[in-house]
């Protein structure tokens, strides 16, 4: 009796480690030994890695983004894993990403555990997330003022052993993958639309939950200012701005500066009184209407203002969680729950399994990995040290859910503990 396709795929099964992050970030002082983002607990003899990156036009040598720290004693794999049984891996990578199929990276290894040293302070030349003037840089975050414009939020990690299968675009392989993931993660939650993604200004007008503190007001004002200043500087795609548009933009600029000055006089986490809340909402909606009238005469569309408001709400909640574990109690529950839900395992479909691409970002060590292009094929003989899938829980530098970042190492180099040979690949669909 001949073997079925399922039997053949079962023979390709190899062990892998599924990585799950916390739903919300934690303060830097959290004792996690394995985590995404935050600051690395580097041994004193290690320098923060640098590399030459090009975010806009001019190459520059900068300290590259810290991505993850993994304490190998927390990773399951006794008896079969090619990784060291103990010690800590530190992952660094350029976060320009746009145009970087092989982003500059470094992986460092220490035989000590992940709590042996204090947090390493970020160096002065640390690159902004997405790079200076990079296409994916968040324009309303100021690298001179905002810690999390250069340092990603800290998310503690947990690990689960799974089996991985070698296939691409295959129904039976998808069935096996779904069975394995559901065994580890459960059946999943029903899929729900993201509350803030693609939300319109009209929908925000009906939502009375914002603004909920002065930090959010600060970010929203800065987002508006970033558009106004860009429109004044660049004009309309090679054409000079009409006089009426210049007048309107200058008016928007003056009113935004007024709000920014009020923000500077107040504590960011303070609540907003009802009168101020009403006045701010009125100002933002007036700004949207002004841009609507200028449609076709300036670069900014009203949809960009609404998208920035949603990003600012999420970023503010992350900042609150990173400030204090209980701070999110002061944010609207619907916003907090929406952000948490982005990390929850969603009930997969057959098409998800076939494509190895799920609504929930699946981070991984070892196994075959997944991606929309050819990296997993090209590195089939290498070891997958880490796979991070793009997800909306991060800001623009890694929020493309169709992107996958891999760190690969040659088997012989790993046996020698020579992590200088690690290469990174970035693929987007």
| Spatial contact of 379 and 364, defined as CB atoms under 8 Å apart | no
Would you list the DSSP string of 92-106? EE----TT-SS--EE
Q: What is the DSSP letter of 42?
A: -
* Residue 398: band (very low, low, confident or very high) from pLDDT cuts 50, 70, 90: low
The first and second tokens of residue 178, run together, are 């779904």
Among 98-102, 110-114, 375-379, the range scoring the smallest mean pLDDT is: 98-102
Mean pLDDT of the chain: 93
Q: Shortest CA distance to 100 belongs to which of 51, 165, 63?
A: 51
Tens of pLDDT, residues 122-156: 999 999 998 888 878 888 999 999 999 999 999 99
Tens of pLDDT, residues 55-82: 877 889 999 999 999 999 999 987 889 9
Mean pLDDT of 298-318: 95
The first and second tokens of residue 127, run together, are 């690159």
**What Å distances lie between residue 422 and 114, 175, 282, CA to CA?**
20, 32, 52
Instruction: Match 């607990």 to its residue by tokens.
Output: 41
User: What does the alpha-carbon distance between residue 262 and residue 215 come to, in Å, rounded to a whole number?
Assistant: 11
pLDDT of residue 397: 53
Q: Shortest CA distance to 300 belongs to which of 248, 373, 352?
A: 248
In 342-389, the DSSP E strands lie at 363-366, 383-389
The first and second tokens of residue 46, run together, are 């290690």
| Spatial contact of 28 and 148, defined as CB atoms under 8 Å apart | no
- pLDDT above 90 as % of the chain: 82
**Cross-strand bridge partners of residue 160:** 18
Mean pLDDT of 323-338: 94
Residues 6+ apart with CB under 8 A from 202: none
* Residue 1: band (very low, low, confident or very high) from pLDDT cuts 50, 70, 90: very low
Residues 6+ apart with CB under 8 A from 80: 15
User: What does the alpha-carbon distance between residue 183 and residue 171 come to, in Å, rounded to a whole number?
Assistant: 18
pLDDT of residue 393: 59
Instruction: Match 């009906």 to its residue by tokens.
Output: 206
**Cross-strand bridge partners of residue 162:** 16
The first and second tokens of residue 158, run together, are 């947990």
CA angle 97/101/107 to nearest 5° reads: 75
Region at 113 (left for phi over 0; alpha for psi -120 to 50; beta for the rest): beta
User: What does the alpha-carbon distance between residue 280 and residue 18 come to, in Å, rounded to a whole number?
Assistant: 44
CA angle 356/359/360 to nearest 5° reads: 90
**Cross-strand bridge partners of residue 407:** 386, 424
pLDDT of residue 428: 85
Which pTM value belongs to this model?
0.95
- Distance of alpha carbon 105 from the chain centroid: 17
Dihedral angle computed from the Cα positions of residues 168, 173, 175 and 179, in that order, rounded to the nearest 10 degrees: -110
Mean pLDDT of 287-305: 95
How many CA atoms within 13 Å lie on the side-chain side of 267? 4
């Amino acid at each position: 009796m001949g073997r079925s396709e399922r039997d053949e795929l079962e023979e390709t099964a190899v062990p892998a480690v599924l990585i799950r992050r916390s739903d919300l970030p934690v303060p830097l002082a959290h004792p996690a030994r394995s985590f995404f983002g935050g600051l690395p607990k580097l041994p004193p003899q290690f320098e923060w890695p640098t590399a030459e990156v090009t975010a806009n036009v001019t190459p520059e040598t900068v300290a590259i983004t810290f991505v993850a720290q993994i304490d190998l004693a927390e990773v399951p794999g006794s008896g079969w894993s090619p990784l060291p049984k103990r010690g800590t891996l530190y992952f660094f990578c350029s976060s320009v990403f746009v145009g970087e199929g092989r982003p500059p990276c470094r992986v460092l290894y220490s035989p000590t555990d992940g709590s042996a040293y204090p947090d390493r302070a970020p160096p002065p030349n640390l690159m902004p997330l997405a790079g200076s003037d990079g296409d994916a840089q968040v324009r309303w975050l100021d690298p001179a003022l905002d810690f999390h414009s250069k340092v990603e939020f800290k998310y503690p990690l947990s690990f689960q052993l799974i089996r991985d299968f070698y296939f691409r675009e295959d129904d039976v392989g998808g069935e096996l993958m779904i069975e394995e993931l559901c065994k580890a993660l459960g059946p999943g939650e029903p899929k729900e639309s993201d509350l803030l993604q693609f939300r319109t200004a009209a929908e925000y007008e009906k939502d009375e939950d914002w603004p909920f503190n002065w930090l959010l007001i600060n970010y929203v004002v800065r987002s508006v200012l970033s558009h106004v200043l860009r429109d004044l500087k660049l004009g309309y795609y090679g054409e000079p701005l009409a006089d009426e548009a210049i007048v309107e933009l200058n008016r928007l600029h003056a009113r935004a500066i007024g709000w920014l000055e009020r923000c500077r006089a107040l504590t960011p986490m303070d609540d907003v009184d009802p009168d101020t809340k009403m006045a701010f909402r009125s100002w933002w909606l007036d700004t949207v209407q002004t841009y609507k009238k200028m449609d076709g005469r300036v670069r900014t569309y009203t949809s960009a203002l609404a998208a920035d408001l949603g990003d600012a709400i999420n970023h503010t909640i992350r900042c609150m969680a990173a400030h204090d574990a209980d701070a999110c109690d002061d944010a609207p529950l619907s916003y907090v729950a929406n952000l948490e839900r982005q990390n929850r395992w969603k009930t997969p479909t057959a098409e998800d399994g076939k494509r190895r691409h799920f609504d929930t970002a699946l981070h991984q060590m070892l196994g075959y990995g997944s991606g929309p292009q050819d990296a997993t094929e090209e590195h089939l003989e290498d070891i997958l040290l880490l796979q991070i899938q793009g997800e909306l829980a991060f800001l623009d530098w890694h929020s493309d859910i169709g992107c996958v970042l891999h760190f690969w190492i040659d088997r012989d180099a790993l046996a020698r503990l020579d992590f200088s040979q690690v290469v990174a690949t970035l693929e987007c669909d």
